[in-house]
Chains A and B, each alone.
Chain A
Amino acid sequence: MAKEMTLSGCAASAQAVKMAKVDVICSYPIRPYTAAMMELAKMVAEGELDAEFIHGEGEHAQLSVVYGASAAGARTFTGSSGVGVTYAMEVYSPISGARLPVQMMIADRALDPPGDFGSEHTDAMSCRDQGWIMGWAESPQEAFDNHLINYRIGEDPRVMLPQFVCQDGYFVSHIPGKVLIPDQAQVDEFLPPYNPGKHVLDPKQPVSHGPQIRPDQGAIMDLQRAEAFLEMPKVIEEAVGDFNRIFGRHYSPFVEEFLTDDAEIVFFIQGGHAATARYAVKHLRERGVKAGLVKLRFVRPFPTTQVAESLAKFKGVGVVETSTSYGGSMRGGNLLVEVRAALYDVPKRPLTTSFMAGLGGDAVTLKDFYWMAEILTNAVKAGRVGKTVYWAGLEQAVA
């Protein structure tokens, strides 16, 4: 029988990984993700999970170990946070290029300097161009669910790509929430055993992985990876549809709307701060502000069509960025760049701007969201946005 537990995001992730019956896990300690590995280590030690649990000698090694294990036919799991995520950078492209459906949990942490335990999405977002699937969870429940959904998508023969399954450090990874743990039979129905296909490293059918190519042979391989991302929306819809049916959930595959029916301004957001944003939207509604929320569930593949269709309905969109792209075209993060690009072909575009919020792991408070709403409301009134980026808590609310 499915049971309800109170779990942190990390503990929920560990439960999901256990129920996915992974074969090889590779760990290295860094806060805050490491709590998930501690849970998994206990499960292996207690004999609750039959997996090889390898102590990597660093994040680079973690990704290298699961690269080898996945190539040899194992379902794999690893994870990291902050500078650990960027330390492993060399290995991300070889994994996606080899079409290995490795799964990596990221519980965000601000990059150095200076040492900062807080959550910020820049660690993961810096890796968004490496050919991995990427999306955030808002709650421990969504973290649990996303691990299963991502294995299913990544291991689909039409996809065969690795997945960054992200959750905000601390805000999700360490704040307990209610998590419905399903029956193993439900998980087994949703997630078939990993079938590595005919290209597995196996002495019975020898193949070579990753020989050198000429430059003119590179483009076609890049195109194949790109095409897998084009195919993916279909696979995601199927997977999320099956997930909702089997587990009785109501996920929207790509963008989830909250109180948007007659909304004029919306927050466009991914990850844990969406939980606060929901409260802010409710309070704003009580005050007569027609606010709503649109939550992004996958940033890779970026659901261009769905984002455009959703956001075109509103007058003002505030993209809540929790990561930086210094010197970028929007002078803030990368999400607004993506949002504006998605809206480019829409006949009547909403006003768009972005808010740098939660950087360094700072909390994004209700007050911050009210402040953002004020800027958006003023912009809608004025018919224009003053600038493309506002730093929450660090400047006055003038549009």
Chain B
Amino acid sequence: MSIPVQTQTFPMLKKLRNIPKEEYYVPGHRTCAGCGPALQYKLVAKAAGPNTIFIGPTGCMYVANASYLCTPYTVPWIHSQITNGGAVASGIEAAYQVRIRKGKWQGELPNVIVMAGDGGSVDIGLQAMSAMLYRGHDALFICYDNEAYANTGIQTSPTTPFGGNTTFTPPGKLIPEGKRLFPKDPPQLVIGGHPAVKYVATASVAYPIDLMNKVRKALNVKGPTFLHIHAPCPKGWKFTESKTVEIARLAVQTGMWNLYEWVDGEYTYQFRPREYKPVGEYLKHQKRFAHLKEEHIAKMQAFVDAKLKTPGVPIKVPVPLPREQQLS
């Protein structure tokens, strides 16, 4: 006797006023004012609804949310080590597949969502993430990217941008730019080598409906999916707490962050600016880049220009050259 496993199908959302009122990530947690990761968590939880299980690898969204035996989740949530979000999710998904099949649990297969930071995704968590995506589990892996190990005091991660001042990449006489490396590209890592994955998208807290619909599209897919969500961190990036959404929007407008969907090999783009602003427009609001000299900014602009020209991310308009007076 084997009972077929049923899955959920979500309708897309059109307007902010139509989004569900119910919160599954409720107030009362201990994230910083203006926290980008907390904002995206709220949106993801809203989009996914009550039949959801979150896996929370160690990171800000563990430490600042699940503090002192209190958590803000009204759906099941489990801590995982920072190393193993993908593996724990694999176990949970497998348990539900077999329990439903054997008649030990009735209902639609829950959404299994890993909410991992950049470290828990593409640094120490990469092995477990890749294996979950490779094996074809019906689960969504989200990398909420605040571009550093923020909870431990802002140390560099593989997604910290070139030139970022972190406590492990402080600018100094010998190393004036701070971080010397360019960041890893999580969605391209996933797309490049995981044949079971049919849906990958990037999102940003500045575009909430787009973000929520991408969560729903990912959950509607049977099989593993991946979202890379840009989540500015006022504390780590050193900008005013009220500017989180503006900073996130500027990232898209300057090409520092690209919004796209990849559906079984086909790219589509969202909110692509008619004309990209120079990266300096994005950098100047963040003190983590305050030490950068013109040559560093030029290097970053060149990186962005090149990224916008890579196959799969075509641009229709010319990318402006770096301006000279970008950092005041």
Contacts and interface: CB of A to CB of B under 8 A. Distances in A.
Interface of A: 23-24, 26, 50-52, 54-58, 60-61, 64-74, 76, 90-91, 94, 193, 201-204, 206-214, 217
B327 to A, nearest CB: 39
12 contacts: A50-B2, A56-B131, A57-B87, A61-B131, A66-B91, A68-B55, A68-B87, A69-B92, A72-B53, A90-B84, A211-B70, A213-B69
Given A54-B91, A56-B87, A91-B84, 14 more contacts: A23-B99, A50-B98, A52-B97, A57-B128, A61-B84, A68-B78, A68-B89, A71-B78, A201-B76, A208-B73, A208-B76, A211-B71, A213-B69, A214-B68
Given A64-B128, A65-B87, A91-B84, A201 B78 contact: yes
Interface stretch (B100-108, B176-184, B185-193): B100-108
Interface stretch (B59-67, B236-244, B258-266, B313-321): B59-67
Nearest to B129: A57
A28 to B, nearest CB: 10
B83 interface: yes
Nearest to A90: B81
A207 B76 contact: yes
Contacts of B90: 54, 61, 64-65, 68
Given A54-B90, A57-B128, A57-B131, A203 B76 contact: yes
Q: How large is the interface on B (under 10, 10 to 19, 20 to 34, 35 or more residues)?
A: 35 or more
Contacts of B84: 60-61, 64, 67, 90-91
B69 A23 contact: no
Interface string B78-96: 1111011001111110111
B293 interface: no
Contact of A210 (B74, B78, B102): B78
B77 interface: yes
B68 A208 contact: no
Nearest to A217: B69
Contacts, number: 158
Contacts of B81: 64, 90-91, 94
Contact of B91 (A24, A55, A60, A203): A24
A25 to B, nearest CB: 9
B309 interface: no
A73 B103 CA distance: 13
Contacts of A91: 81, 84
Contact of A212 (B62, B76, B101): B62
A203 B51 contact: yes
A206 B52 CA distance: 9
B69 A68 contact: no
B230 to A, nearest CB: 26
Given A50-B102, A74-B99, A208-B77, A203 B128 contact: no
Given A60-B84, A68-B55, A211 B68 contact: yes
A212 B58 CA distance: 10
B78 A55 contact: no
A211 B80 CA distance: 10
Contacts of A217: 68-69
A318 B95 CA distance: 46
Contact of B94 (A74, A206, A208): A74
Contacts of A60: 83-84, 87, 127-128
A74 B104 CA distance: 10
A193 B95 CA distance: 14
B19 interface: no
B110 interface: yes
B130 interface: yes
B135 interface: yes
B2 to A, nearest CB: 8
Contacts of B96: 72
B95 A210 contact: no
B175 interface: no
Given A52-B94, A210-B78, A210-B79, A202 B71 contact: no
Contacts of A76: 91
B32 interface: no
A72 B92 contact: yes
Contacts of A201: 53, 76, 78, 92
Contact of A68 (B70, B88, B130): B88
B50 interface: yes
Contacts of B51: 203
B144 to A, nearest CB: 18
Contact of A51 (B66, B74, B78, B98): B98
A68 B68 contact: no
A215 to B, nearest CB: 11
Interface string B8-26: 0000000000000000000
B88 A67 contact: yes
Contact of B101 (A50, A70, A203, A213): A50
B75 interface: yes
Considering residues B69, B77, B84, which has the most beta carbons from chain A within 10 angstroms of its beta carbon? B84
A118 B124 CA distance: 32
Nearest to B72: A208
Interface in B120-136: 127-128, 130-131, 135
Contacts of B80: 64, 67-68
A209 B78 contact: yes
B91 A69 contact: yes
Nearest to B1: A50
A65 B68 contact: no
